[in-house]
Structure 1
Amino acid sequence: MAYDEIRPGSALAARLDAELRHAHPRTVLEAAYETFGDKLALVSSFGAESAVLLDLAAKVSPDIPVLFLDTGMLFGQTLDYRKNLAARLGLTDVRDLRPAYQDLATADPQAKLWQTDTDACCHVRKVLPLDRALEGFSAWITGRKRFHGGDRMSLPVVETTEDHVKFNPLANWTKADLDAYMVEHDLPAHPLVEQGFASIGCWPCTQPVEDGDDVRAGRWKGLDKTECGIHLARAPGAVANVGGDI
Protein backbone atom coordinates (compact mmCIF):
# COMPACT_ATOMS: atom_id res chain seq x y z
CA MET A 1 0.00 0.00 0.00
CA ALA A 2 1.41 3.39 -0.97
CA TYR A 3 1.97 6.01 1.71
CA ASP A 4 -0.55 8.38 0.14
CA GLU A 5 -3.28 5.88 0.91
CA ILE A 6 -2.58 6.22 4.61
CA ARG A 7 -4.88 8.41 6.61
CA PRO A 8 -4.58 9.32 10.30
CA GLY A 9 -6.77 6.94 12.24
CA SER A 10 -6.94 4.48 9.33
CA ALA A 11 -7.13 0.74 9.86
CA LEU A 12 -3.62 0.26 8.48
CA ALA A 13 -1.85 1.22 11.70
CA ALA A 14 -4.06 -1.13 13.72
CA ARG A 15 -3.38 -3.95 11.26
CA LEU A 16 0.36 -3.31 11.28
CA ASP A 17 0.38 -3.19 15.07
CA ALA A 18 -1.44 -6.53 15.22
CA GLU A 19 1.04 -8.06 12.76
CA LEU A 20 4.17 -6.55 14.31
CA ARG A 21 3.42 -6.33 18.03
CA HIS A 22 5.70 -9.30 18.79
CA ALA A 23 8.11 -8.85 15.88
CA HIS A 24 11.84 -8.23 16.10
CA PRO A 25 12.65 -4.50 15.86
CA ARG A 26 14.40 -4.99 12.54
CA THR A 27 11.25 -6.60 11.13
CA VAL A 28 9.25 -3.58 12.30
CA LEU A 29 11.71 -1.24 10.62
CA GLU A 30 11.63 -3.24 7.40
CA ALA A 31 7.82 -3.09 7.33
CA ALA A 32 7.89 0.65 7.98
CA TYR A 33 10.40 1.25 5.19
CA GLU A 34 8.60 -1.00 2.72
CA THR A 35 5.32 0.81 3.41
CA PHE A 36 6.48 4.43 3.45
CA GLY A 37 9.82 4.55 1.63
CA ASP A 38 11.16 8.11 1.40
CA LYS A 39 8.20 9.41 3.41
CA LEU A 40 9.60 7.73 6.55
CA ALA A 41 11.93 9.46 9.05
CA LEU A 42 13.63 8.35 12.25
CA VAL A 43 13.79 10.79 15.17
CA SER A 44 16.82 10.27 17.41
CA SER A 45 18.31 12.11 20.36
CA PHE A 46 21.66 10.32 19.94
CA GLY A 47 21.30 9.67 23.65
CA ALA A 48 22.10 6.86 26.04
CA GLU A 49 20.15 4.14 24.20
CA SER A 50 20.07 5.53 20.67
CA ALA A 51 22.82 3.44 19.09
CA VAL A 52 20.70 0.28 18.97
CA LEU A 53 17.83 1.73 16.94
CA LEU A 54 20.20 3.67 14.67
CA ASP A 55 22.23 0.54 13.95
CA LEU A 56 19.10 -1.47 13.17
CA ALA A 57 17.81 1.29 10.89
CA ALA A 58 21.15 1.57 9.09
CA LYS A 59 20.98 -2.16 8.35
CA VAL A 60 17.55 -1.68 6.75
CA SER A 61 18.65 1.42 4.81
CA PRO A 62 21.39 3.92 5.72
CA ASP A 63 19.45 6.50 3.68
CA ILE A 64 16.50 6.75 6.09
CA PRO A 65 16.45 10.43 7.15
CA VAL A 66 17.45 10.82 10.79
CA LEU A 67 16.06 13.92 12.52
CA PHE A 68 18.21 15.18 15.38
CA LEU A 69 16.91 17.93 17.64
CA ASP A 70 19.85 20.22 18.39
CA THR A 71 18.20 22.45 20.98
CA GLY A 72 21.24 24.63 21.54
CA MET A 73 21.44 23.27 25.09
CA LEU A 74 22.78 19.78 24.52
CA PHE A 75 25.86 18.39 26.20
CA GLY A 76 29.00 18.74 24.11
CA GLN A 77 29.43 14.98 24.48
CA THR A 78 26.09 14.45 22.72
CA LEU A 79 27.14 16.57 19.74
CA ASP A 80 30.40 14.63 19.45
CA TYR A 81 28.55 11.32 19.79
CA ARG A 82 26.08 12.31 17.07
CA LYS A 83 28.92 13.04 14.65
CA ASN A 84 30.98 9.95 15.46
CA LEU A 85 28.10 7.46 15.62
CA ALA A 86 26.55 8.67 12.36
CA ALA A 87 29.89 8.21 10.61
CA ARG A 88 30.49 4.80 12.13
CA LEU A 89 27.06 3.49 11.12
CA GLY A 90 27.24 5.01 7.64
CA LEU A 91 24.10 7.11 8.06
CA THR A 92 23.86 9.30 4.99
CA ASP A 93 21.08 11.73 5.90
CA VAL A 94 21.25 13.07 9.45
CA ARG A 95 19.42 16.39 9.70
CA ASP A 96 20.16 18.77 12.57
CA LEU A 97 16.93 20.51 13.59
CA ARG A 98 17.43 23.77 15.44
CA PRO A 99 14.93 26.22 16.95
CA ALA A 100 13.99 29.10 14.68
CA TYR A 101 15.76 32.36 15.41
CA GLN A 102 12.47 34.28 15.59
CA ASP A 103 11.00 31.77 18.05
CA LEU A 104 13.99 32.16 20.36
CA ALA A 105 13.98 35.94 20.01
CA THR A 106 10.31 36.02 20.98
CA ALA A 107 10.10 33.36 23.68
CA ASP A 108 13.62 32.90 25.05
CA PRO A 109 15.88 35.84 24.16
CA GLN A 110 18.16 35.30 27.17
CA ALA A 111 18.19 31.47 26.96
CA LYS A 112 16.83 31.26 30.49
CA LEU A 113 13.31 30.01 29.80
CA TRP A 114 14.22 26.59 31.22
CA GLN A 115 14.55 28.22 34.65
CA THR A 116 10.90 29.33 34.76
CA ASP A 117 8.91 27.20 32.28
CA THR A 118 10.40 23.92 31.11
CA ASP A 119 7.31 23.07 29.03
CA ALA A 120 7.61 26.31 27.07
CA CYS A 121 11.35 25.78 26.63
CA CYS A 122 10.81 22.29 25.23
CA HIS A 123 8.04 23.61 23.01
CA VAL A 124 10.27 26.21 21.36
CA ARG A 125 13.42 24.11 21.15
CA LYS A 126 11.99 20.66 20.37
CA VAL A 127 8.29 20.56 19.50
CA LEU A 128 8.18 23.36 16.93
CA PRO A 129 11.34 22.33 15.02
CA LEU A 130 10.20 18.70 14.85
CA ASP A 131 6.65 19.58 13.80
CA ARG A 132 8.05 21.63 10.94
CA ALA A 133 10.46 18.91 9.84
CA LEU A 134 7.81 16.19 9.93
CA GLU A 135 5.57 18.09 7.54
CA GLY A 136 7.48 16.40 4.72
CA PHE A 137 6.89 12.87 6.03
CA SER A 138 3.94 10.51 6.47
CA ALA A 139 5.47 8.28 9.16
CA TRP A 140 8.23 8.38 11.73
CA ILE A 141 10.18 6.06 13.99
CA THR A 142 10.83 6.59 17.69
CA GLY A 143 13.11 4.91 20.22
CA ARG A 144 10.55 4.69 23.04
CA LYS A 145 10.31 1.53 25.16
CA ARG A 146 7.73 0.28 27.64
CA PHE A 147 10.28 -0.35 30.39
CA HIS A 148 10.76 3.42 30.67
CA GLY A 149 7.48 3.45 32.60
CA GLY A 150 4.79 6.10 32.87
CA ASP A 151 2.54 6.45 29.85
CA ARG A 152 5.04 4.38 27.86
CA MET A 153 4.05 1.18 29.66
CA SER A 154 1.12 0.75 27.26
CA LEU A 155 3.06 1.79 24.17
CA PRO A 156 1.96 0.05 20.95
CA VAL A 157 4.46 -0.96 18.28
CA VAL A 158 2.51 0.98 15.63
CA GLU A 159 0.17 3.89 16.32
CA THR A 160 -1.36 6.89 14.61
CA THR A 161 -0.97 10.54 15.53
CA GLU A 162 -2.82 13.51 14.09
CA ASP A 163 -0.91 13.52 10.81
CA HIS A 164 1.39 10.51 10.86
CA VAL A 165 1.80 6.82 11.47
CA LYS A 166 4.34 6.27 14.23
CA PHE A 167 6.51 3.18 14.70
CA ASN A 168 8.01 2.19 18.07
CA PRO A 169 10.22 -0.80 17.10
CA LEU A 170 11.83 -1.13 20.54
CA ALA A 171 8.59 -0.99 22.52
CA ASN A 172 8.93 -4.61 23.66
CA TRP A 173 12.65 -4.64 24.38
CA THR A 174 14.10 -4.54 27.89
CA LYS A 175 17.27 -2.88 29.13
CA ALA A 176 18.91 -6.31 29.01
CA ASP A 177 17.94 -6.67 25.34
CA LEU A 178 19.50 -3.31 24.53
CA ASP A 179 22.68 -4.06 26.46
CA ALA A 180 23.05 -7.44 24.77
CA TYR A 181 22.64 -5.87 21.32
CA MET A 182 25.23 -3.19 22.13
CA VAL A 183 27.76 -5.85 23.11
CA GLU A 184 26.97 -8.20 20.22
CA HIS A 185 27.41 -5.44 17.64
CA ASP A 186 30.24 -3.62 19.44
CA LEU A 187 28.39 -0.31 19.50
CA PRO A 188 29.93 2.66 21.33
CA ALA A 189 28.11 3.98 24.38
CA HIS A 190 27.30 7.65 24.87
CA PRO A 191 30.23 9.13 26.84
CA LEU A 192 27.96 10.26 29.70
CA VAL A 193 26.58 6.78 30.40
CA GLU A 194 29.61 5.83 32.45
CA GLN A 195 28.98 8.93 34.58
CA GLY A 196 25.54 7.68 35.59
CA PHE A 197 23.36 9.34 32.96
CA ALA A 198 20.73 6.78 31.94
CA SER A 199 18.64 9.16 29.80
CA ILE A 200 20.24 12.20 28.24
CA GLY A 201 18.59 15.41 27.10
CA CYS A 202 19.54 19.07 27.53
CA TRP A 203 22.16 19.85 30.15
CA PRO A 204 20.00 22.12 32.37
CA CYS A 205 17.33 19.45 32.83
CA THR A 206 19.33 16.21 32.92
CA GLN A 207 21.01 14.60 35.91
CA PRO A 208 22.61 11.24 36.67
CA VAL A 209 20.31 8.64 38.20
CA GLU A 210 20.75 6.83 41.49
CA ASP A 211 20.97 3.03 41.68
CA GLY A 212 17.49 1.58 41.53
CA ASP A 213 15.92 4.69 39.98
CA ASP A 214 13.85 4.55 36.81
CA VAL A 215 15.77 5.11 33.59
CA ARG A 216 14.24 8.55 33.08
CA ALA A 217 14.46 9.66 36.73
CA GLY A 218 17.21 12.13 35.87
CA ARG A 219 15.07 14.06 33.38
CA TRP A 220 13.39 17.17 34.83
CA LYS A 221 14.12 15.83 38.31
CA GLY A 222 11.85 17.28 40.98
CA LEU A 223 9.27 18.50 38.46
CA ASP A 224 5.90 17.07 37.52
CA LYS A 225 7.17 16.44 33.99
CA THR A 226 8.17 13.23 32.21
CA GLU A 227 7.92 14.14 28.50
CA CYS A 228 9.33 16.98 26.43
CA GLY A 229 6.14 17.25 24.39
CA ILE A 230 7.04 15.80 20.99
CA HIS A 231 4.94 12.70 21.74
CA LEU A 232 1.92 14.60 23.06
CA ALA A 233 -1.19 15.10 20.93
CA ARG A 234 -1.64 18.40 19.11
CA ALA A 235 -4.21 19.88 16.74
CA PRO A 236 -4.39 18.07 13.37
CA GLY A 237 -2.29 19.58 10.62
CA ALA A 238 -1.09 22.45 12.78
CA VAL A 239 2.34 23.73 13.71
CA ALA A 240 1.68 25.51 16.97
CA ASN A 241 2.56 29.14 17.52
CA VAL A 242 5.15 30.06 20.11
CA GLY A 243 2.52 31.83 22.17
CA GLY A 244 -0.04 29.08 21.77
CA ASP A 245 -1.27 26.46 24.20
CA ILE A 246 1.49 24.04 25.14
Structure 2
Amino acid sequence: MSALRRWAAGQGAAVLTLLALLLLWEAAVVGLDIQRFLLPAPSDVVAEFIKDYRMIFGHAVQTVWGILAGYIAAVVFALAASMAMIRWPLVERMVMPIFVASQSVPKIAIAPLILLWIGAGAGSKILVVASIAFFPVVINTMAGFKQVDQGLMDVFRSVDATSRQTFLRLRLPYAVPYIFAGLRIATTLAVLGAIVAEWLAATDGIGYLVLSGSFNFNTARSFAAIILLAVIGMSFFGAMGAVERALSWRRPSEEATRVQA
Protein backbone atom coordinates (compact mmCIF):
# COMPACT_ATOMS: atom_id res chain seq x y z
CA MET A 1 0.00 0.00 0.00
CA SER A 2 2.89 2.34 0.77
CA ALA A 3 4.25 1.79 -2.74
CA LEU A 4 0.86 2.72 -4.18
CA ARG A 5 0.79 5.90 -2.09
CA ARG A 6 4.29 6.82 -3.24
CA TRP A 7 3.27 6.27 -6.85
CA ALA A 8 0.12 8.39 -6.39
CA ALA A 9 2.15 11.14 -4.70
CA GLY A 10 4.64 11.15 -7.55
CA GLN A 11 1.91 11.29 -10.16
CA GLY A 12 0.16 14.06 -8.24
CA ALA A 13 3.35 16.11 -8.16
CA ALA A 14 3.79 15.64 -11.91
CA VAL A 15 0.20 16.72 -12.59
CA LEU A 16 0.54 19.81 -10.40
CA THR A 17 3.79 20.76 -12.14
CA LEU A 18 2.14 20.36 -15.54
CA LEU A 19 -0.84 22.49 -14.51
CA ALA A 20 1.48 25.21 -13.20
CA LEU A 21 3.39 25.26 -16.49
CA LEU A 22 0.16 25.46 -18.49
CA LEU A 23 -1.10 28.36 -16.38
CA LEU A 24 2.24 30.14 -16.78
CA TRP A 25 2.09 29.53 -20.55
CA GLU A 26 -1.47 30.90 -20.77
CA ALA A 27 -0.60 33.95 -18.69
CA ALA A 28 2.53 34.68 -20.74
CA VAL A 29 0.68 34.53 -24.07
CA VAL A 30 -2.17 36.71 -22.86
CA GLY A 31 -0.11 39.11 -20.75
CA LEU A 32 2.61 39.66 -23.35
CA ASP A 33 0.08 39.76 -26.20
CA ILE A 34 2.01 37.21 -28.25
CA GLN A 35 0.67 36.65 -31.74
CA ARG A 36 -1.25 33.39 -31.77
CA PHE A 37 0.36 32.18 -35.01
CA LEU A 38 3.70 32.37 -33.21
CA LEU A 39 2.67 30.80 -29.91
CA PRO A 40 -0.93 29.83 -29.20
CA ALA A 41 -2.23 29.71 -25.66
CA PRO A 42 -3.17 26.32 -24.19
CA SER A 43 -6.82 27.34 -24.42
CA ASP A 44 -6.36 27.86 -28.18
CA VAL A 45 -4.82 24.41 -28.52
CA VAL A 46 -7.72 22.81 -26.63
CA ALA A 47 -10.25 24.70 -28.75
CA GLU A 48 -8.52 23.56 -31.96
CA PHE A 49 -8.44 19.99 -30.76
CA ILE A 50 -12.14 20.02 -29.93
CA LYS A 51 -13.01 21.64 -33.24
CA ASP A 52 -11.02 19.25 -35.46
CA TYR A 53 -10.76 16.16 -33.27
CA ARG A 54 -12.11 13.84 -35.97
CA MET A 55 -9.46 14.94 -38.46
CA ILE A 56 -6.69 14.88 -35.86
CA PHE A 57 -7.57 11.37 -34.68
CA GLY A 58 -7.84 10.21 -38.29
CA HIS A 59 -4.26 11.31 -38.92
CA ALA A 60 -3.19 9.77 -35.60
CA VAL A 61 -4.52 6.37 -36.69
CA GLN A 62 -2.26 6.44 -39.75
CA THR A 63 0.75 7.33 -37.62
CA VAL A 64 0.03 4.63 -35.04
CA TRP A 65 -0.35 2.03 -37.77
CA GLY A 66 3.03 2.99 -39.26
CA ILE A 67 4.68 2.94 -35.83
CA LEU A 68 3.36 -0.51 -34.96
CA ALA A 69 4.16 -2.05 -38.36
CA GLY A 70 7.69 -0.64 -38.43
CA TYR A 71 8.30 -1.55 -34.80
CA ILE A 72 7.24 -5.16 -35.30
CA ALA A 73 9.43 -5.41 -38.42
CA ALA A 74 12.39 -3.98 -36.49
CA VAL A 75 11.94 -6.36 -33.55
CA VAL A 76 11.61 -9.44 -35.77
CA PHE A 77 14.71 -8.52 -37.77
CA ALA A 78 16.73 -7.56 -34.67
CA LEU A 79 15.93 -10.77 -32.78
CA ALA A 80 16.63 -12.94 -35.83
CA ALA A 81 19.95 -11.17 -36.45
CA SER A 82 20.93 -11.46 -32.78
CA MET A 83 20.19 -15.18 -32.68
CA ALA A 84 22.26 -15.71 -35.82
CA MET A 85 25.17 -13.68 -34.41
CA ILE A 86 25.25 -15.51 -31.08
CA ARG A 87 25.03 -18.87 -32.85
CA TRP A 88 27.74 -18.10 -35.42
CA PRO A 89 30.37 -15.59 -34.21
CA LEU A 90 31.54 -15.10 -37.80
CA VAL A 91 28.17 -13.60 -38.63
CA GLU A 92 28.58 -11.08 -35.80
CA ARG A 93 32.02 -10.06 -37.06
CA MET A 94 30.58 -9.62 -40.55
CA VAL A 95 27.36 -7.72 -39.88
CA MET A 96 27.81 -5.86 -36.58
CA PRO A 97 30.17 -3.24 -38.10
CA ILE A 98 27.54 -2.66 -40.77
CA PHE A 99 24.85 -2.16 -38.12
CA VAL A 100 27.05 0.29 -36.23
CA ALA A 101 27.93 2.20 -39.39
CA SER A 102 24.27 2.43 -40.44
CA GLN A 103 23.34 3.73 -36.99
CA SER A 104 26.05 6.40 -37.24
CA VAL A 105 24.35 7.91 -40.27
CA PRO A 106 21.41 10.22 -39.39
CA LYS A 107 18.24 8.63 -40.71
CA ILE A 108 17.05 12.00 -41.97
CA ALA A 109 19.92 11.73 -44.47
CA ILE A 110 18.95 8.32 -45.88
CA ALA A 111 15.18 8.69 -45.62
CA PRO A 112 15.03 10.57 -48.97
CA LEU A 113 16.81 7.62 -50.60
CA ILE A 114 14.29 5.21 -49.09
CA LEU A 115 11.49 7.33 -50.49
CA LEU A 116 13.21 7.35 -53.89
CA TRP A 117 13.62 3.58 -53.94
CA ILE A 118 10.25 2.61 -52.50
CA GLY A 119 8.13 5.66 -53.10
CA ALA A 120 5.97 7.65 -50.73
CA GLY A 121 3.49 5.60 -48.80
CA ALA A 122 3.16 3.00 -46.08
CA GLY A 123 6.14 0.93 -47.25
CA SER A 124 8.64 3.76 -46.92
CA LYS A 125 7.26 4.75 -43.51
CA ILE A 126 7.60 1.19 -42.22
CA LEU A 127 11.16 0.91 -43.53
CA VAL A 128 12.22 4.22 -41.99
CA VAL A 129 10.71 3.24 -38.62
CA ALA A 130 12.34 -0.19 -38.73
CA SER A 131 15.75 1.23 -39.70
CA ILE A 132 15.71 3.53 -36.68
CA ALA A 133 14.21 1.16 -34.10
CA PHE A 134 16.13 -2.07 -34.70
CA PHE A 135 19.56 -1.04 -33.36
CA PRO A 136 18.87 -0.84 -29.59
CA VAL A 137 17.09 -4.19 -29.75
CA VAL A 138 20.11 -5.81 -31.43
CA ILE A 139 22.62 -4.30 -29.01
CA ASN A 140 20.67 -5.11 -25.85
CA THR A 141 19.80 -8.62 -27.00
CA MET A 142 23.43 -9.40 -27.79
CA ALA A 143 24.47 -8.00 -24.41
CA GLY A 144 21.97 -10.31 -22.71
CA PHE A 145 23.11 -13.34 -24.66
CA LYS A 146 26.74 -12.66 -23.73
CA GLN A 147 26.17 -11.89 -20.04
CA VAL A 148 25.16 -15.43 -19.14
CA ASP A 149 26.83 -16.64 -15.96
CA GLN A 150 29.89 -18.69 -16.89
CA GLY A 151 29.19 -21.17 -14.09
CA LEU A 152 25.80 -21.94 -15.61
CA MET A 153 27.42 -22.38 -19.00
CA ASP A 154 29.83 -24.88 -17.48
CA VAL A 155 26.91 -26.78 -15.95
CA PHE A 156 25.20 -27.06 -19.34
CA ARG A 157 28.44 -28.23 -20.94
CA SER A 158 28.94 -30.82 -18.21
CA VAL A 159 25.61 -32.47 -19.09
CA ASP A 160 26.36 -32.34 -22.84
CA ALA A 161 23.55 -29.90 -23.59
CA THR A 162 23.21 -29.09 -27.27
CA SER A 163 23.57 -25.56 -28.62
CA ARG A 164 19.83 -25.39 -29.08
CA GLN A 165 19.14 -26.49 -25.51
CA THR A 166 21.70 -24.03 -24.16
CA PHE A 167 20.13 -21.21 -26.13
CA LEU A 168 16.49 -21.95 -25.32
CA ARG A 169 16.97 -22.86 -21.66
CA LEU A 170 19.81 -20.56 -20.64
CA ARG A 171 20.78 -17.75 -23.01
CA LEU A 172 17.28 -16.69 -24.03
CA PRO A 173 15.71 -16.63 -20.53
CA TYR A 174 18.76 -14.82 -19.17
CA ALA A 175 18.55 -12.21 -21.94
CA VAL A 176 14.85 -11.41 -21.46
CA PRO A 177 15.41 -8.29 -19.26
CA TYR A 178 18.01 -7.02 -21.71
CA ILE A 179 15.68 -7.60 -24.65
CA PHE A 180 12.92 -5.64 -22.96
CA ALA A 181 15.34 -2.81 -22.24
CA GLY A 182 16.00 -2.58 -25.97
CA LEU A 183 12.31 -2.89 -26.79
CA ARG A 184 11.42 0.04 -24.55
CA ILE A 185 14.12 2.23 -26.07
CA ALA A 186 12.91 1.23 -29.53
CA THR A 187 9.37 2.43 -28.77
CA THR A 188 10.47 6.07 -28.64
CA LEU A 189 12.66 5.66 -31.72
CA ALA A 190 9.77 4.12 -33.66
CA VAL A 191 7.68 7.23 -32.98
CA LEU A 192 10.57 9.40 -34.17
CA GLY A 193 10.96 7.33 -37.34
CA ALA A 194 7.29 7.62 -38.24
CA ILE A 195 7.37 11.40 -37.90
CA VAL A 196 10.56 11.66 -39.99
CA ALA A 197 8.91 9.67 -42.77
CA GLU A 198 5.75 11.77 -42.62
CA TRP A 199 7.70 15.00 -42.72
CA LEU A 200 9.52 14.03 -45.89
CA ALA A 201 6.66 12.77 -48.03
CA ALA A 202 3.21 11.98 -46.73
CA THR A 203 -0.36 13.10 -47.18
CA ASP A 204 -1.53 11.87 -43.81
CA GLY A 205 -0.27 11.25 -40.30
CA ILE A 206 0.60 13.48 -37.38
CA GLY A 207 3.88 14.58 -38.95
CA TYR A 208 2.02 15.80 -42.01
CA LEU A 209 -0.51 17.54 -39.75
CA VAL A 210 2.25 19.39 -37.88
CA LEU A 211 3.79 20.62 -41.13
CA SER A 212 0.48 21.62 -42.70
CA GLY A 213 -0.47 23.54 -39.56
CA SER A 214 2.79 25.50 -39.61
CA PHE A 215 2.56 26.20 -43.35
CA ASN A 216 -0.99 27.52 -42.89
CA PHE A 217 -0.04 29.53 -39.78
CA ASN A 218 -2.41 27.35 -37.76
CA THR A 219 0.07 26.83 -34.96
CA ALA A 220 -2.65 25.67 -32.57
CA ARG A 221 -3.30 22.68 -34.82
CA SER A 222 0.42 21.88 -34.88
CA PHE A 223 0.55 22.01 -31.09
CA ALA A 224 -2.52 19.80 -30.80
CA ALA A 225 -0.87 17.24 -33.09
CA ILE A 226 2.40 17.39 -31.15
CA ILE A 227 0.63 16.87 -27.83
CA LEU A 228 -1.28 13.90 -29.22
CA LEU A 229 2.01 12.48 -30.52
CA ALA A 230 3.51 12.79 -27.03
CA VAL A 231 0.52 10.93 -25.60
CA ILE A 232 0.95 8.17 -28.21
CA GLY A 233 4.66 7.84 -27.41
CA MET A 234 4.08 7.72 -23.66
CA SER A 235 1.27 5.18 -24.07
CA PHE A 236 3.44 2.98 -26.27
CA PHE A 237 6.31 3.16 -23.79
CA GLY A 238 4.00 2.47 -20.85
CA ALA A 239 2.39 -0.50 -22.61
CA MET A 240 5.79 -2.05 -23.25
CA GLY A 241 6.70 -1.50 -19.61
CA ALA A 242 3.51 -3.32 -18.56
CA VAL A 243 4.36 -6.24 -20.84
CA GLU A 244 7.84 -6.35 -19.35
CA ARG A 245 6.51 -6.46 -15.80
CA ALA A 246 4.27 -9.34 -16.79
CA LEU A 247 6.88 -11.42 -18.63
CA SER A 248 10.34 -10.48 -17.41
CA TRP A 249 11.90 -12.05 -14.32
CA ARG A 250 13.72 -8.80 -13.53
CA ARG A 251 12.13 -5.44 -12.80
CA PRO A 252 12.94 -2.52 -15.13
CA SER A 253 14.77 -0.73 -12.31
CA GLU A 254 17.17 -3.67 -12.04
CA GLU A 255 18.36 -3.62 -15.65
CA ALA A 256 22.03 -4.07 -16.21
CA THR A 257 22.13 -2.19 -19.50
CA ARG A 258 20.50 0.81 -21.07
CA VAL A 259 21.67 1.57 -24.58
CA GLN A 260 20.87 4.93 -26.11
CA ALA A 261 20.65 5.13 -29.90
TM-score, structure 1 normalization: 0.27
Higher strand share: 1
